[in-house]
Amino acid sequence: MTTSTPHPPGTSNQPEEPRTPAASDEAGPQKAPGPAEAPRPSAGSGTPAPPEEARTPGGVYRRPVSPTERLYLAAGQPRGAMALRIVVEGDGLPDPDRLRAAVARAAQTCPGSRLVRSGPLWTAGGPPPHVLHAPPARGRFDVSDPHTARLLTDRSGPADQPGCEVLVVPGAGGARTTLVFSASHALMDGHGALTWVREVFRALRGEAARPAADPSTDLGVLRRLAADQGGRPRRRPAPLPGRRSPLGPAAAAGSPSQTLWLRRTLPGRHPALTARLAQAVADTARLDTRAMVPVDLRRHLPHLAAATGNLTLPLFLDLRPGQDWAAAHTRLLTALAEGGELAAGFEAGLVRRLPGPALAALLRAAQSAAVRTDRHLASAVVSHLGRLDTGELSGGGFTAATAYALPVHAPLVPLSFAVAETADTTEITLGVRAADPSLPRRAPAFLDAVLDRLLAGGADTRTGAPAAPAVPSAQAAPAGATVVDLFRAQAARTPAAVALDGPAGPVTYAELDRRSDAVAAELVRRGTARQDLVGLVVDRTPEGVAALWGILKAGAAYVPLDPAHPGPRVRGVLASCGARLTLTRRHLVPGLAGFVPGELLAVEDVPTPAQPADPPAAAGTAPAPGDLAYVMHTSGSTGRPKGVLVEHRGLAAFVRWMTGLCRVGEGTRFGFASSYAFDISCFPLFLPLLAGGTAVLAPEAPSPAVLRALVAEHRADTLALTPSHLALLDGDGGGRLRTLLLGGEELTPAAVRSAYAAFGTGCRLINGYGPTEATVACLAHVVDDTETGPSLPLGTPGPDLRVDLVAEDGTPIGSGPQDAGRVGEIVVHGVQVARGYHRPDQAPAEPAGAGTPFATGPDGVRSYRTGDLGRRLPGGGIAFAGRADGQVKVAGHRIEPAEITAALEAHPGVARAAVTTRRRPGARGPVLCAYAVPARGTTATAPAAADPAAPAESGPAPSAGAPSADELRAHLAGILPRHLIPAHILTVAALPATVSGKTDFDALPDPFAGTAAPPTAEPPEPPEPAGTDPGGSPAALHARVARHWATVLGVDASVLTADSDFQALGGDSLALVEMLSAVSADLLTPDQARRLTEDLAVLVRDLTLGRVCDRLTAVREGTTA
């Protein structure tokens, strides 16, 4: 609980403490009182006090060594200096010379970073802090790794020679660079250390210095504040060492004391976190506990912002297990409002009476007794460093991605927590030091249990939504593990747990492992080799999921296609990939047999042994991290779909990142309602199955009823959807969700409101952004429901990624305050970047000068230019700012209009074509609109004025053989997926051009010109007589269906005819689902509604009002349409 900037008494810049000043930003304990048996000074002891503030004559910075700092010096003697450590991780490596120069300049403006002791005074007479360079890290900077702990603690110097230093740890192979700023706690507190760190980066950026040379000390501030009130400082009674360790008694010491730090990253910000974390410690330990909360004295005197010394004093919170955290939060706020930290501890008299060596010996004895008896002065330190702006921690070629503090290992307190917030995450670190060999096993389990309770308590008190497990920021899986390795390990750990659930019933991990092993064995038997491409055309059933995992276990990569894709597209994709075998379901074989170029195998025809193979790995060849995992096809500007080559290392990195962000664990039930051919499917297919959770399958086509059933009937608590799918739910999601990830389209505050209305305000909303070429997602933002603006931030990158904004001249756009508002192309770097596109040499040539969006740097790190534009936000975040090329997003699909253009121009009756998007007034999203110029020898007439009830292509019929809109739509439907079929196809005599010779889309006719927005509300319909069957007569049925069409499409129902075409009127696939859902709810029973969707593939090929009415009549009467 702290603030990183001072503010006057009675105010706060922390939403966590809305009515009182914020507490300290100290990264470790500010007070560690001596043992209870030590002599206590009386209030009137008469001991002369040394001056508590020293002036700086002749410009030399001096100040007293405060009693607190003397205690820290003594506490550091047995085990090296007590050091505060601020860790900043980011991209880029600062130039060594520039960094040394910046540290040297900061040493002048922050003299507290170069103090030497001269008797009772600190004097700024030392050299600038050292800058040290460690060898490149082989992986992520992991503070829990013993090697990392030794690297940091071995840097600590003698306790009587405290100082500061900077350690640079470069990243290797795309890993981030880590800068560790260490400052002796005898010199600085957390705010002081941050002031010094910020000054170093200010020098790196070439900005003006902000001197911080105030010589104030904590005791001097107490006396000054007390004098202002006409009194003397209060004294705090010495606490008794009666608190047990939340970790339990230490095991018998069989080895030297070891330092252990653990780090966890929580998405978003968490109100009242200090109190909630302290209460979660008590609840987890099931003990009465005492939390020491350091509080920053700078909040009382604004000029103290320029002081770097120890200006923090503690508050103590006594807690009992099972209490409401809100009670602890209220006590903390009350204490802050009353200035409860403004009291001098007994150590001020203690350090005057004992010389340094004697004080150190006393502390050693007290510490030994505390460990032996498991009785401590406090249970834990809970310290909040405040909100850190990564823009302030960037410069000199280094761009910060996150920052956190490593807690000081306090004497006489067994645990120390440090908290820091960035724009999108909350970093929590735990520090403990003991001679206990079981510590590396017990401490991580304890920390994860604490965070589980913290998150559960927050959700329960707000909404009753299910709680989620906290996930370590670095998963325990080996860095080189693939998703196959992780799945096998999970199946071995929890064989009886439910891996898949849904209408077909539960499937355990052991059963899914056995079925997928059988598929892998059959593929290998049929000649499938490592990195072969295998087609996958399946549904969302246990058989389909087993087929996917079987391909991966065989060492091959899957090429997903939707069963609804046109046969020619299936044939073109599989032939281009060279897939010799395709897995499908038996009921899909008849429709695929004429289009699959190689062998077609139904999953049901794979023999499954009664017992799993021994050993299981014999079923196939285990893939390596650099092998292909899948090839996902996106719309291509060449007219052909582009196959994106995604590797196992990128998929595993995505899973590690998103598992924590989405709070996926053993209790998670992740709904699966998307197509395998849409990479959002990777969320339910991989995240839950590698964390012990359950993938909940929805075999039927996505609809409001299907999505609600996932939540209400099948108890899904986590979903990944597009905002367009969310809009269909109309505020009713079927129940509460724990996590909802929204991606594929720009997220707006209106969509956020819809999500909370559908799934409860306790649902964690995540805005996910990323092209297929960056393995599903590369930026993510946990939504704060207080955010405003037309769209929400895209967020921050995953730990194995770097995301830059690049200006038109190719230079990166910085993240500092001066860069806010600048727009550039979003460029992704790191292991999640795909290998490239499949067989680009066999695709038509790219446009001149377009080049390739993929590149590999000298360090071997891949990058991808997304073509998306981003706007730099204050604080360093990114907001979506449109496309740099012609790509469009319609209903969550990324579409290259050039692919549709190429397909149209392949028709012999079309000479030229153009495709863009148009929006009907009042509609919720754009639709595709195509313009075709007839081939030579045919003519076309201009379309008539748009009639909202008639197809936009209507008007005088094209003459002399020009193809009609229906003919062109049928042509496209035979070669393109449904989402690429334009809602409108207009025939024009020529394509207008701009002065530069490019197609002038603004000059093309708008099919919605003159169409008014629909009324905000329909006039009430007269009630029907009791017992009347709605839609009982053909005319009544037509009228009711037409009314639903009018509501969805925004047209006048009175002019709709039996020949009115839903797609020609602007209806896309999501509008179709909305219309059918409304019609079903109005006119059909649940069983009849299910039968209506069974023949959906046939219905959509002739989607006129009359055809829909005929189908409804047949379903209602139990006959065939």
Question: pLDDT for 105-120, tens place per residue?
Answer: 999 999 999 999 988 8
For residue 345 the two structure tokens come to: 């501890």
CA quadruple 925, 926, 928, 933: dihedral, nearest 10:
160
Residue 743 DSSP SS3: strand
Closest CA to 763 of 734, 792, 725, 796: 734
Query: What's this model's pTM, rounded to 2 decimal places?
Result: 0.55
Q: Can you give the pLDDT at residue 922? A: 58
Beta bridge partners of 823: 871
What is the identity of the amino acid at 1046? A
* 496 pLDDT above the threshold of 90: yes
Amino acid in the structure at residue 732: D
Looking at residue 158, what is its pLDDT? 56
In the three-class reduction of DSSP (H, G, I as helix; E, B as strand; rest coil), residue 549 is classed as: helix
Q: What is the C-alpha end-to-end distance of the chain, expressed in Å?
A: 67
Confidence of residue 580 (pLDDT cuts 50, 70, 90): very high
Q: Average pLDDT for residues 314-334, to the nearest whole number? A: 87
Question: What is the topology classification, in CATH, of domain 57-455?
Answer: Chloramphenicol Acetyltransferase (3.30.559)
Above 80 in pLDDT, residue 442?
yes
Whether the pLDDT of residue 1110 is over 80: the answer is yes
428 versus 792: which is more confidently predicted?
428
* 893 pLDDT higher than 80: no
Predicted pLDDT of residue 5: 31
Contact (Cβ atoms closer than 8 angstroms) between residue 646 and residue 770: no
CATH architecture classification, 483-872: 3-Layer(aba) Sandwich (3.40)
Output 262 or 960, whichever has higher pLDDT.
Answer: 262
- Choose among 837, 548, 834: nearest CA to 676: 548
How far apart, in Å, are the Cα atoms of 402 and each of 3, 91, 579, 657, 750?
A: 17, 10, 43, 14, 29
Helix 1105-1117, helix 1069-1083: angle, nearest 10: 40
Q: What does the pLDDT average to over 520-546? A: 96
Amino acid at 164: C
Residue 715: C-alpha distances to residues 502, 659, 693 (Å): 9, 19, 13
In this structure, what token pair is assigned to residue 205?
A: 């950026």
583 vs 587: CA distance, rounded Å: 12
Distance from C-alpha of 525 to C-alpha of 366, rounded to nearest angstrom: 69
- pLDDT digit string, tens, across residues 19-30: 233 333 333 333
Region of residue 792 (left: phi > 0; alpha: psi -120 to 50; beta: else): beta
CA atoms 81, 85, 91, 97: torsion sign: negative
- Kindly tell me the burial class for residue 975, based on how many C-beta atoms sit within 10 Å of its own C-beta (0-12, 13-18, 19 or more): middle
Compare 283 and 337 and report the one with higher pLDDT: 283
CA distances from 713 to 83, 444, 503, 735 (A): 54, 36, 10, 9
Mean pLDDT over each residue of the chain, to the nearest integer: 80
Specify the pLDDT at position 670: 97
Domain with CATH 3.40.50.12780 in the chain: 483-872
pLDDT digits (tens, 9 = 90+) for 679-728: 999 999 999 999 999 999 999 877 888 889 999 999 999 999 988 778 66
Tokens of 364: 């050693």
Looking at 3.40.50.300, 1.10.1200.10, 3.40.50.2300, 1.20.58.2050, the CATH number of the domain 1034-1117 comes to 1.10.1200.10
In the chain, the percentage of residues whose pLDDT exceeds 70 is: 78
- The SS3 call for residue 75 is helix
Per-residue model confidence (pLDDT) at position 24? 35
What sections of 885-1017 are H helices per DSSP? 897-905, 965-973
Q: How far apart are CA 177 and CA 1104, in angstroms?
A: 60
Q: Look at residues 659, 656, 660, 1 and name the one whose alpha carbon lies nearest to residue 265.
A: 660
CA nearest to 783, candidates 749, 820, 819, 743: 749
Per DSSP, the three-state class of 1029 is coil
pLDDT of residue 1068: 61
Q: Which of 762, 816, 767 is nearest to 792 (CA)?
A: 767
Tell me the C-alpha distance between 588 and 699, whole Å.
14
Query: 278 — phi, psi (to 5°)?
Result: -60, -40
888-1003 folds as GMP Synthetase; Chain A, domain 3 (3.30.300)
Return the amino acid letter for 910.
Answer: V
CA atoms within 13 A on the CB side of 797: 29
pLDDT on residue 997: 52
Count the Cβ atoms, other than its own, within 10 Å of residue 859.
10
Cα gap 561→566, rounded to integer Å: 10
The mean per-residue pLDDT over the stretch 329-355 comes to: 78
Residues of the chain with pLDDT > 90, as a percent, come to 37
Structure tokens at 330: 């209220």
pLDDT value of residue 1080: 87
pLDDT of residue 925: 65
659 or 884, which is more confident: 659
The confidence score (pLDDT) of residue 786 equals 67
| Residues 590-598, mean pLDDT to the nearest whole number | 92
Going by C-alpha positions, the residue among 485, 496, 545, 481 that lies closest to residue 516 is 545
Residues of the chain with CATH 3.30.559.10: 57-455
Distances in Å between the alpha carbon of 942 and those of 900, 932, 960, 987, 1010?
22, 12, 15, 7, 16
Tokens 């520090």 map to which residue? 431
With both helix axes pointing from N to C terminus, report the angle between 1086-1094 and 1069-1083 in degrees, rounded to the nearest 10. Answer: 150
783-797, 935-949, 1080-1094: which has the minimum mean pLDDT? 935-949
Beta strands in 693-775 (DSSP E): 694-697, 718-721, 739-743, 764-769
pLDDT, residue 509, reads 97
Residue 1064 — very low, low, confident or very high, per pLDDT cuts 50/70/90? low
Which residues of the chain form CATH 1.10.1200.10? 1034-1117
Predicted local confidence at residue 880, as pLDDT: 84
